[in-house]
Amino acid sequence: MNVRRLLIPIIGVVMVVLLVLGLRGPKRGPSAAQKAQQQVVTKPIARAAAVIAQGAEIGQGGIETANMTDEQIAKEVPSDAINDPNLLIGATAKVPIAPGDYFTPANIEPAPAKLSQKVEPGFLGITIPAPEVPSLYDLAFLKPGDRVDVFGVSGGPQSQEETVSVRLASNVRILAVDTVMSEEKEKKRIADINAEIEKIKADKQKAMSATPPPTAEALKGFDDQIAALQEQLDVKPENPSVTLEVTPAQSQSIALWRKSATINLALHREEDAQQIIFDQSMAMVPGASAGERGVANPAGAGRVLTLNDVVPLDQRDPAEFLERQQALEEARQGQAEQQVEGLERQVRMAELRAEMRNVQRYGTRSAPPLPPVAAVVTPPPAPAPVVVQRSGVSDAQYNALRSEVRNLRKAV
């Protein structure tokens, strides 16, 4: 009985100990899921998303990121790889870069911090605004590094000057293209255009359901209005501009033309630049007279072309050509009439001087007749010819003037 009493507390202590040990359980390490999670920790690594040609500028579309582990980075990625997008966007490829290649100082030239650092020594950067009707200045065609020719066009139908086109510079490198736009204004502009299109469509539908139905020409008018508005849905940058790298002399000429003329660009292949040879004519100052032009004379300026060099006036504007011909004929006729009037005044003055002289000599306005010659057996020598002077004008000169007046009158 005593032994049983002694075993009961011992057994209870053992059970308590076992219970405590069971609750705590064996010491465990990290689970398999935790180990896998620790192994998939990755870092984003930048690499080329497409083929990048040598000399091309790297944009956002040419960069992709790959998530890689430390082990993969150590094995595959160069130690000097560049991953900062701020350093990659705008950089220039030194060599051709294949898709999947990593960016390093060996294959890219980082973008300069300032635009001025892109300008080569001895050159200047000059910015020209895009015209209201862009053409090439849609700016989707122009990229930094492209080569263009620069033309200045002045005069035109709204001015008294003849339209003149001058090549100001050739094979000029583009440094930057500015396409700043206001997102809020652009959304409102597009919304207004779409609303106008819907209004025209509703008017067209209403006209089609009317009696009598509209003509084909009327329906075409609706379609033309819609097509014209749809063309305006393209993105329109605010104050687009292009910055060019030019010589100091070229910058002087472009600055003169930029003030009072339109500057246009012509894009060509860089490979063709060495094959194009331009003459070295004077780059005239727009708006100056022929004697004042030629103030700026940059190297590479092309010869001056007028609109008549491209399309003659009789083909470009027959009405204006006919008007000019009539004005020229009237000027010629007026000049002939002035000549006739001048000659008539000279003849009248000669007659008046002759009459005044006769009055002084003979007391009459006309000279007296010559006395008759007496008859003799032996004829006397022929008398000297009598020349009646009219204030210094002989009969021969007088008759010549009268004849010229008659001829001019017939011509008129």
More confidently predicted of 72 and 373? 72
Going from the C-alpha of 319 to that of each of 309, 372, 412, the distances in angstroms are 19, 70, 26
What pLDDT does residue 232 have?
76
What pLDDT does residue 357 have?
79
What pLDDT does residue 385 have?
57
Average pLDDT value for residue range 152-161: 63
What pLDDT does residue 287 have?
46
Tell me the HSE value of 391 on the side-chain side, using a 13 A CA sphere: 14
Average pLDDT value for residue range 350-374: 73
Average pLDDT value for residue range 270-284: 45
Mean pLDDT, the chain, integer: 72
How far is it, in rounded angstroms, from Cα 76 to Cα 68?
Answer: 10
What pLDDT does residue 21 have?
64
Q: Which of 218-227, 260-269, 305-314 shows the highest mean pLDDT?
A: 218-227
Residue 218 has pLDDT above 80, yes or no: yes
What pLDDT does residue 93 have?
87
Confidence of residue 159 (pLDDT cuts 50, 70, 90): low
Q: Which of 30-34, 136-140, 196-200, 333-337 shows the highest mean pLDDT?
A: 196-200
More confidently predicted of 112 and 334? 334
Average pLDDT value for residue range 183-196: 80
What pLDDT does residue 319 have?
75
What pLDDT does residue 213 have?
82
How far is it, in rounded angstroms, from Cα 124 to Cα 117?
Answer: 11
Q: Does domain 39-109 have CATH number 3.40.50.300?
A: no
How far is it, in rounded angstroms, from Cα 60 to Cα 152?
Answer: 35
What pLDDT does residue 305 have?
47
Average pLDDT value for residue range 84-102: 84
150 beta partners: 169, 265
CB 299 within 8 A of CB 279: no
Confidence of residue 234 (pLDDT cuts 50, 70, 90): low
> pLDDT tens-digit profile of 121-133?
888 888 887 765 5
Average pLDDT value for residue range 389-399: 61
Name the 3-class secondary structure at 67: strand
Residue 282 has pLDDT above 60, yes or no: no
How far is it, in rounded angstroms, from Cα 306 to Cα 313?
Answer: 11
What pLDDT does residue 116 have?
62
Q: How many CB atoms lie within 10 A of CB 285?
A: 21
> pLDDT tens-digit profile of 37-58?
555 678 888 888 888 888 788 8
Residue 299 has pLDDT above 80, yes or no: no
What pLDDT does residue 296 have?
37
Confidence of residue 286 (pLDDT cuts 50, 70, 90): very low
Confidence of residue 75 (pLDDT cuts 50, 70, 90): confident
Instruction: Give 76-95 as a DSSP string.
Output: HS-TT----HHHHTT-EESS
More confidently predicted of 285 and 158? 158
CB 326 within 8 A of CB 365: no
What pLDDT does residue 303 have?
45
Confidence of residue 22 (pLDDT cuts 50, 70, 90): low
Residue 157 has pLDDT above 60, yes or no: no
What pLDDT does residue 215 have?
85
How far is it, in rounded angstroms, from Cα 77 to Cα 82?
Answer: 10
How far, in whole angstroms, is CA 238 from its chain's centroid?
A: 16
